[in-house]
Amino acid sequence: MDRRFNREQEKLRERTRAFVQKEVPPEVARRLDAEGAYPRGIMAKLAAQGFWGINVAEKYGGRGGGIIELMIFFEEISKNLPVLAWTSGNVLLYGNNILQVNGNEEQQKRFLPGLMNGEYLFCFALTEPDAGSDAANIITRAEPVDGGYRINGSKVFISGASVSHIAVTNTRTASSRYKGITSFLVDTDQEGYRAAPIRKLGYKGSDTCEVYYKDVDVTRENILGGEDCYNQGWKQMMRLLNGERLVLSACALGISETVLKGLVDHLKERQKISRIQGRYQAVEHGIAEMAARVEAGRQLAFQSAWMVDQQMECVKETSMTKLFCAETGKAVTRLGMEVMGRLGYTMECDLQRFYRDIPILSIGGGTSQIQKNIISKLMGL
Amino acid sequence: MMDFELNSEETMIQKAIRDFVTKELPHDRVRELDGMGQFPAKFLTALSKLGFLGMTVPEAFDGEGENIVGACIVAEELAMRYPALAACYCNAVFGAGAVLAALGSGDQKSLYLPGIAKGELWMALALAEADDDPERIETRAEAEGTGFLISGEKKLVALGDVADVFLVLARTGKEDEPALFCVDGNAPGITRNRVETLGLHGESLVNVGLDRVRVENQAVLGGMDRKMTAAEQLEMVRNYQLLGIGAQALGIAQGAFGLALSHAKTRVQFDQTIGKFTAIQEKLTDLLCEIVAAKFLVYNAALAASAGRKFTREVAMAKIAAARIAVKAAMDGLQVFGGYGYSMEYDIQRYVRDAAGTLSAGISNDSLGLKIAGLMGL
Ligand SMILES: Cc1cc2nc3c(=O)[nH]c(=O)nc-3n(C[C@H](O)[C@H](O)[C@H](O)COP(=O)(O)OP(=O)(O)OC[C@H]3O[C@@H](n4cnc5c(N)ncnc54)[C@H](O)[C@@H]3O)c2cc1C
Binary contact (B366, A280; C-beta < 8 A): yes
Closest CA to A361 of B263, B348, B335, B280: B335
CA neighbours closer than 13 Å in the CB half-sphere of residue B132? 21
Q: Is the pLDDT of residue B270 over 70?
A: yes
Q: Where in chain B is the domain with CATH 1.10.540.10?
A: 8-122
Determine the residue of B265, B276, B277 to mutate for testing ligand 1's pocket, defined as the one with the most ligand atoms within 8 A of the Cβ atom: B277
Q: Which residues of B touch A203 (CB under 8 A)?
A: 342
Crossing angle of helices A40-48/A82-91, nearest 10°?
A: 60
- Is the CB of B336 within 6 Å of ligand 1? yes
A93 lines ligand 1 (CB under 6 A): no
The answer, as to whether pTM is greater than 0.90, is: yes
> Taking CB atoms and an 8 Å cutoff, what residues of chain A touch B198?
345-347, 352, 355-356
pLDDT band at B158 (very low <50, low <70, confident <90, very high): very high
Q: Quick one: fold of B125-219?
A: Butyryl-CoA Dehydrogenase, subunit A; domain 2 (2.40.110)
- Beta-bridged to residue B124, according to DSSP, are B166
Which pLDDT value is given to residue B1? 41
The percent of residues in chain B predicted with pLDDT above 90, rounded, is 89
Q: How far apart are CA A126 and CA A374, in angstroms?
A: 19
pLDDT at B131: 58
What average pLDDT score do residues B341-369 get?
Answer: 92
The per-residue pLDDT for A1 is 46
What CA–CA distances, in Å, run from A48 to A9, A281, A371, B172, B315? 19, 47, 37, 62, 58
Tell me which chain A residue has its CA closest to the CA of residue B272. A134
Q: Looking at the DSSP assignment, which residues form a beta bridge with residue A193?
A: A213
**Numbered ranges of CATH 1.20.140.10 in chain B:** 230-375
CB distance from B320 to chain A under 8 Å? Answer: no
Question: Contacts of residue B277 in chain A, CB cutoff 8 Å?
Answer: 369
What residues of chain A lie within 8 A of the CB of B279, using their CB? 369, 372
- Assess whether pLDDT exceeds 90 at residue B100: yes
Return the pLDDT at A274.
79
Measure in Å the smallest separation between the Cα of B15 and chain A Cα atoms: 33
Q: Kindly tell me if the per-residue pLDDT of B51 is higher than 70.
A: yes
Q: Which residues pair with A153 in a beta bridge?
A: A213
Predicted confidence at residue A3, as pLDDT, reads: 66
Q: Is the CB of B277 under 6 A from ligand 1?
A: yes
Q: pLDDT averaged over chain B?
A: 94
Distance from CA of B106 to the nearest CA of A (A): 34
CB pairs A-B closer than 8 Å: 121
Q: Are the beta carbons of B360 and A199 separated by less than 8 Å?
A: no
Q: For a ligand 1 pocket test, name from A183, A363, A381 the mutation site with the most ligand atoms within 8 angstroms of its C-beta.
A: A363
Identity of the residue in A156, A282, A347 whose CB atom sits nearest the CB atom of B366: A282
Q: Which fold has domain B230-375?
A: Butyryl-CoA Dehydrogenase, subunit A; domain 3 (1.20.140)
What residues of chain A lie within 8 A of the CB of B32, using their CB?
none
pLDDT at residue B3, as a whole number: 56
Give me ligand 1 centre to Cα A360, in Å: 9
**Average pLDDT along chain A, 381 residues, taken 10 residues at a time:** 81 98 95 96 98 98 97 98 98 98 98 98 98 98 96 98 98 97 98 97 98 97 97 98 98 98 94 82 96 98 95 97 98 95 89 97 98 98 95
CATH of B8-122, one of 3.40.50.2300, 1.10.8.590, 1.10.540.10, 3.30.530.20: 1.10.540.10
Residue B110's pLDDT is 97
Instruction: Work out the pLDDT band at B136, boundaries 50, 70, 90.
Output: confident
CA A70–ligand 1 middle distance (angstroms)? 23
What domains can be seen in chain A, in order of their start residue? 7-120 (1.10.540.10), 123-232 (2.40.110.10), 240-378 (1.20.140.10)
Of A203, A367, A377, the residue with max ligand 1 atoms within 8 A of its CB, to mutate for a pocket test, comes to A367
CB contact under 8 A, A337 and B199: no
Cβ of residue B84 lying under 6 Å from some atom of ligand 1: no
Among protein residues, the one with the nearest Cα to ligand 1's atom 49 is: B336
Binary contact (A347, B197; C-beta < 8 A): yes
The predicted-structure confidence for A44-95, as pLDDT tens digits, reads as follows: 999 999 999 999 999 999 999 999 999 999 999 999 999 999 999 999 999 9
Answer whether A208 contacts ligand 1 (Cβ < 6 A).
yes
- Residues contacting A297, CB < 8 A, separation 6+: A249, A252, A253, A256, A321, A324, A325, A328
Q: Which of chain A's residues have a Cβ under 8 Å away from the Cβ of B361?
A: 342
